[in-house]
Amino acid sequence: MRKIYDAVVVTGEYQDRQGNTKKRYLTVGAVFEGERGMSLKLEALPVSFNGWISFYPVREQSETRRQPAPRRDPDSQGEPFDDDIPF
C-alpha cells in the first residue's frame, strides 16, 4: 500500500501578527491505495471536529519541514561568556 493523501481537519481559527484570521489545521491520518482499493487510516480525532475531513496530496519530506531558526548568541553585546560559573 502506498500513501496518496494526508487527511486533515480544521480545528479552529487564530489571528496572525498582522491581524488576519487564519485556520488551524491538524493532520489526523492518511489515505492509502492498495491492490483492493483505497483505505483511510485515522490516527486522531480532535474534540472540536465538525465532521469534515479534507484530503491533500502527500508532499515530499523536504517540503513539509520548516527551516530551523538561526541560532543567536545569548550575549547580544558580543562579549565573551564568563566561564567562572560556580557549579
**Intervals of the chain under pLDDT 70:** 61-87
**pLDDT for 68:** 60
pTM (two decimals): 0.62
Give the start-to-end residue ranges of the domains of the chain: 2-59
Question: DSSP characters for 12-50?
Answer: EEEE-TTS-EEEEEEEEEEEEEETTEEEEEE----SS--
